[in-house]
Amino acid sequence: MFEAIERVPGDAILGLIQAFKDDPNPDKVDLGVGVYRDEDGSTPIMRAVKAAEQRLVDTEATKAYIGSHGDPDYGRHVLETLLGTDSAVLADNRASATQSPGGTGALRLAADFIAAQLPGKSIWLSDPTWPNHKGVFGAAGLDMQSYPYVDADNRLDFDGMLAALKQIPQGDVVLLHACCHNPTGFDLSAEQWQQVLSVVQERELLPLVDFAYQGFGDGLEADAYGVRLLAEHLDEMLITQSCSKNFGIYRERTGCFIAIAKDAEDMADVRSQLAITARENYSNPPAHGSAIVATIFESEELTAMWREELDEMRSRINNLRSDFVKALAPHGLDQRFAHVADQRGMFSFTGLQPEHVEALRDRHSIYMVKSGRANVAGLNRANLDYVCNAIADVVK
């Protein structure tokens, strides 16, 4: 039976991992894979995470299932971190947290929930967006449409975005990136978020906010501005969350799907459906990552340590953006790439074309996604000049 199965191309980003590993060049640089790297090029385990894990080793008493909605303490802390401890939504019991296997698992929960409970609704994605958004929503059978996000000059096209949102059919779902837009790094200002809110209200759209990078843009509170604005003014919305980046627990697959309803009664109905959706997908989420997060939040000492480390990571990335632009100045390219310093998060839509990316790989062993998206965290003091010299070589 299997002889009829066709081979398909592998995931482009995962393919970069293998190509980079196989490259013998000692000067090779990986700017493709979406994980945080420190100055030594490693993806470290945060000190707060290590300390929390040690406490779990000493105190954990069971490995029993944690239920389809996951660890309630984890869910409570996630809700408070995203929406704020003083959120009226939380006070009114209008929000529900369902723990998921990573942010991708949360997106799949959202996709299956929309497909089952909101049949016929299309989902609108930014152009460009994280490539796996299309894979996840397509696998759930959702109709996907797009709205513009970046213009031909590689700048945020907010006017085009807003005009497109105003044309979306009433009641459709629109996916928004809370901060650190992946893959572009271009984020909305507070004023722009307010304009998006007005259109969402006018068109009666259902926002699905992908919040994978809280703390990596301008800080935990600042990065939550758009999410909290929508939650405060809308009856209903969906949010997907991930702890992969801001806790550095990528392989623990720790995420959360959050639904907000107009009242506690509707929320109970939604939550009952989400339990079934989770059960049919993976039954129960993994427990270790959520236990780490809950342990950190329940300790003032560990929370302070985590916040300090997160600030250090964010500051390093933002400084790298500025240093990158400065290092291109001797080549006369600082203005051409000035936008990189204004972007937020790990990723940058550099403006490099596919032929530039190919030349960087073939001539200099510098790896990034074909679209020109680069992981800024892959830069460091040792390779910055090498990368900038290589970019000058391929674009001039």
Model confidence pTM above 0.85: yes
CB under 8 Å to 129, separation ≥6 — which residues?
146, 149, 175, 177, 182, 183
Q: What is the C-alpha R_g of the chain?
A: 21
- Report helix, strand and coil shares of the chain as percent, to nearest 5: 50, 15, 35
Query: For residue 211, what pLDDT is reported?
Result: 98
Q: Which of 112, 187, 245, 306 is catalytic?
A: 245
Answer positive or negative: Cα dihedral of 186, 190, 192, 197: positive
| Residue 396 reports pLDDT greater than 90 | no
Query: Could you tell me which residues are beta bridge partners of residue 349?
Result: 373
Our answer to whether residue 306 is catalytic in this structure is: no
Cα distance between residue 187 and residue 343, in whole Å: 7
Query: For residue 13, what pLDDT is reported?
Result: 73
Cα distance between residue 263 and residue 93, in whole Å: 7
Query: For residue 15, what pLDDT is reported?
Result: 80
Mean pLDDT, range 147-155, rounded to an integer: 94
Q: Which of 130, 172, 187, 193 is catalytic?
A: 130
Higher-confidence residue: 305 or 15?
Answer: 305
Q: pLDDT tens for residues 293-311?
A: 999 999 999 999 999 999 9
Q: pLDDT tens for residues 47-82?
A: 999 999 999 999 999 999 999 999 999 999 999 999
Domain definitions of the chain by residue range: 2-45+301-395, 65-298
| Residue 395 reports pLDDT greater than 80 | yes
Higher-confidence residue: 111 or 4?
Answer: 111
Q: 2-45+301-395 belongs to which homologous superfamily? A: Aspartate Aminotransferase, domain 1 (3.90.1150.10)
Does domain 65-298 sit in CATH 3.40.640.10?
yes
Q: Which of 71, 112, 172, 210 is catalytic?
A: 210
Q: Which residue has the tokens 């509170």?
A: 221
Our answer to whether residue 245 is catalytic in this structure is: yes
Identify the helix (H) or strand (E) that includes residue 238.
strand 237-242
Residue 128 preceded by cis peptide, ω within 30: yes
Distances (CA, A) of 395 to 66, 372, 389: 53, 12, 10
